[in-house]
Amino acid sequence: MKHDFTRREFLALIGAGSAALAIPQGLRAFAQGARPPHLVLSVADALGRGELGCQGNKQIPTPNIDSIASGGVRFTNGYVSCPVCSPTRAGLMTGRYQQRFGHEFNPGPAAAAPFGLPLSQTTIAQRLKDAGYVTGIVVKWHLGNTEKFRPLQRGFDEFFGFLGGAHQYFVTGAPAAAGNNAIMRGNKAVEEKEYLTDAFSREATAFIEKHKKEPFFLYLPFNAVHSPLQAPKKYLDRFASIKDEKRQKFAAMLSAMDDAVGAVLKALRDNGLEENTLVVFHSDNGGPTASTTSSNGPLRGFKGQVLEGGVRVAYMMQWKGTIPPGTVDARPVIQLDIAPTLLAAAGGKAPADAFDGANLLPYVKSGGDSKGKPHEALYWRFGDQDAIRKGDWKLVRMGTGPELYNLADDIGEKTNLAGKNPEKVKELQADLEKWESKLAQPLWKRQTQPKAARRTKAAANRAKRAAPAPAK
């Protein structure tokens, strides 16, 4: 249900009495004078947990992203439900473990038409649209290329960006030459001459300016700092002291993204919206250190692995006047929590079983539940890998026998305690397998290995899981 009135008109409707019946369900919750908040969700692509200033990086300044943490809450145990791009985004958009509906792997190439977020799943954009919000996405979709899977068919009113999993940052050639991965406005390919991160900053701030008088949801999933490593001279010059060419380009790309986040925050301030906007920032998975230099800090592993380096990410949110500034929260949370949190902030409703994620507002708002925990356990399955975190204990299975870690003492997953704690291994394996028994089969196969090799490796891994690995 699309609303066709601005916030100013909405307030007039409130004063009109009987006209309030026309207000969408979500906005009706604010009919006593409170304004519905604006919602901004920004996602970095393949950004390692250790690369932000607020996470300890002193080489690459990220003052704008850091300001979200200092102005609100930074989760030190923030996770995503998959160590690669598209499944994480499927979980983000639905608030559900993506394995429940078969979106376990990245979709296939653009020519493979059937691949996309299943139409059976309701996106947070659709729920917010039904609640009276105008919805927009700028940048990367990666949830299906064919028209039925595209943003405008999945709850978004506006779209500027590309449909695939990655893109050149300097666009050359005619728009049509890029096929299904062209830069698009709506469903039409367009020519873009700016460095893409700068172009996406332009489009995001324009969306805010256009819709500042009505409640909006802006989804800003950057393609930075995903490969290819490309940056213009103005950003490279900031890091002339970095002699490693790959690292210099990465730093420039991250700095450009930080500038883009800063432009969005400035647009909110300049339009008087900052105090009434919930801003969320996280990365879609850990960094692929070897290919981009993106560091995961003290964590073991990287993109593509269910080890901490693959799934534990930078994660923060700001809502000035509602979330106390400078909060550091150590409770495990996951990107699945974002959809129910945004919907709750908007006053929208969903069926009781709609989400696996938790609404985080009761935990982080002023006077919130400081001792409760949003989750008893978090789970991962990615092909032959699976894992569970329950309290400080994490069980990992990657084909070499169970690995057990106490993350309170061993954030780097260096000391395997499986051999010394067989009962804990047994408990966590039972919980993990109970969760996995309720999951769907993947709708498409993983694209990184030949089919025969996948089958052989999977059989070998299942055999190896039978006995715990020795304690280290």
Residues ≥6 apart with Cβ < 8 Å to 466: 401
Catalytic residue among 3, 85, 167, 282: 85
Q: Does the annotation mark 85 as catalytic? A: yes
Catalytic residue among 3, 38, 142, 211: 142
Residue 254 CB coordination number (10 Å): 29
Please count the CA atoms within 13 angstroms of the CA of 248 that sit on its side-chain side. Answer: 14
Q: What is the dihedral of CA 243, 247, 251, 257, to 10 degrees?
A: 150
Q: Does the annotation mark 82 as catalytic? A: no
Strands 393-397 and 403-406: antiparallel
Strands 385-390 and 73-75: unpaired
Helical ranges in 4-159 per DSSP H? 7-15, 25-28, 63-70, 85-94, 124-130
Peptide bond just before 175 cis, omega within 30 deg: no
What is the rounded distance in angstroms from the CA atom of residue 122 to the CA atom of residue 143?
A: 13
DSSP state of 133: -
Helical pair 338-346 and 85-94, crossing angle rounded to 10 deg = 30
Helical pair 245-270 and 196-210, crossing angle rounded to 10 deg = 10
How many contiguous H segments (helices) and E segments (strands) does the chain have? 14, 16
Catalytic residue numbers? 85, 142
